[in-house]
Amino acid sequence: MVRESDGEPILIDFGLSKQYDSSGGQTSTTPVGISHGFAPIEQYRPGGVASFTPQTDIYALGATLLNLISGNVPPHYSEILEGGLPKLPSAVSKQCIAAIGHAMEIKKNKRPGSVGEFISELTKETHPDIDLDVDGHRKIEIKDYIQSNDVRASAEDTVLMDVIAKNMVSDNVIIDQIEFVDLGLSVRWADRNIGAMGIEDTGTCFAKSIDLNEIYQYNTQGAIVPQLKLFEELIIKCNWYWYSVNGSMGYTVVGPNGNSIRLPVTGDADNLRASIVTFGLLWTNEALLNHWRSGGCLFYYNNVSYKLTNYITNRICPVRLVLR
């Protein structure tokens, strides 16, 4: 940023620069164009740094203000989804806190549409139509949340994160420690693969039509291996965000209602022992249970794509169930 009056540079974004050691190796691992804590969710999508909107910059502006007030780097957007924004000192005005929260909305169409609108929210004395709680959040009635088709939409723009979390959890179904999440689709999707201890684990790898008793026990409770059309629905109707959680890369898949599941990289039985696994592979119902053909159409994903793809030979890979 160069000051117009005298041509003096006053601000440089060092987030785009990289550090290299004496041998020429890069020592900075931050993706080009992304500063964690200051980058909104849309920039983590494949190709997300290639296009910007005013709402993208407004998120970064709100994060910068949060950083200046608190002295701390703002949380990653995934942390905001889990627990909301951190509390600010009591000396900070409620309208300032609310303006920061509005600027750092997860969904970009819920953020201010211009810098002028953001400044107006910062400087206005009160807002007669919005009721703020003690932390400066806009209040929302649970009935408004339940009646809304959009997990982030209501009579007000911003909802309390604990209200969202409470409703998201209460609406899910648990079978043998697997939680089936309502994404706003025709079925509920499991939060982890069969046999996985956590959402970042690969779980059990199954061979085609061999020793499927572990799957059949879920069938009796209404859970099935997804058909091709259900994977197609997941691909088309959800938003996909690639980033690392606890050192494991993968996609966070956000449904039309704002709820999400995690698809970590899994590989298959051929490369589970590899030091770096860069892709995920899941059985479809048609491929796994078709007794007379080898190979079949599986669901494949990596950092640049997520798609159904045909394999000529049989694979040994995990299963992610759905609940009708």
State which of 136, 169, 202 marks the end of a domain. 169
Per-residue pLDDT band at 315 (split at 50, 70, 90): confident
What are the residues whose beta carbons fall under 8 Å from the beta carbon of 66, sequence distance 6 or more?
74, 85, 86, 88, 100, 104
- List pLDDT tens digits, range 283-296: 999 888 775 566 67
Does residue 302 sit in helix, strand or coil? Answer: coil
Average pLDDT of 100-114?
89
Q: Are residues 94 and 189 in the same domain?
A: no
CA–CA gap between residue 298 and residue 285 (Å, rounded): 9
**Is the residue at 232 inside a domain?**
yes
Decide if 194 contacts 203 (C-beta within 8 A): yes
| Alpha carbon distance 265, 191 (integer Å) | 14
Instruction: Provide the angle, in degrees to the nearest 10, between the axes of the packed helices 94-103 and 54-70.
Output: 140
Both 138 and 179 in a single domain?
A: no
* 264 within some domain: yes
Burial degree of 111 (CB within 10 A; 0-12, 13-18, 19+): buried
- pLDDT tens profile 121-167: 887 654 334 344 444 444 433 333 333 333 333 333 333 333 334 33
Task: Calculate what percentage of the chain has a pLDDT beyond 90.
Answer: 27
| pLDDT surpassing 60 at residue 26 | no
Tell me: pLDDT of 322 over 80.
yes
The pLDDT tens digits of the residues spanning 35-51 come to 788 888 888 776 666 66
- pLDDT tens digit sequence for 232-264: 999 999 999 988 887 788 999 999 888 899 999
Residue 89 lies in a domain: yes
Query: Which pair of structure tokens corresponds to residue 261?
Result: 């599941």
Instruction: Tell me if 85 sits within 8 A of 66, measured CB to CB.
Output: yes
Q: Does 211 share its domain with 251?
A: yes
Confidence of residue 172 (pLDDT cuts 50, 70, 90): confident
What confidence category does residue 5 fall into, taking pLDDT thresholds of 50, 70 and 90?
A: confident
Q: What is d(CA 250, CA 204) in angstroms, rounded to the nearest whole number? A: 18
Between the alpha carbon of residue 274 and those of residues 201, 270, 277, 299, 317, the distances in Å are 15, 9, 6, 20, 15
CA distance 109 to 55: 7
Query: What is the residue range of 184's domain?
Result: 171-323
Domain termination site, one of 114, 146, 169: 169
What's the number of CA atoms in the CB half-sphere (13 Å) around residue 111? 27
Q: Amino acid identity of 148?
A: S
Do 158 and 177 belong together in one domain? no
Please state the domain count of the chain: 2
pLDDT at 292: 54
pTM over 0.75: no
DSSP 87: P
Helix, strand, or coil here: 97?
Answer: helix
Q: Give the whole-angstrom CA distance, residue 67 versus residue 19.
A: 23
- Do 177 and 154 fall into the same domain? no
Please write the tens of the pLDDT for every residue from 184-211: 999 999 999 999 988 888 888 888 866 6
**pLDDT band for position 12 (50/70/90)?**
low
User: For the domain that residue 127 is a member of, what is the CATH number?
Assistant: 1.10.510
Q: What is the DSSP letter of 245?
A: E
Residue that has been written with the tokens 């899910």 in this structure: 172
Residue 289's SS3 state is coil
Question: 26 and 98: one domain?
Answer: yes
Same domain, 155 and 180: no
Residue 190 shares a structural domain with residue 202: yes
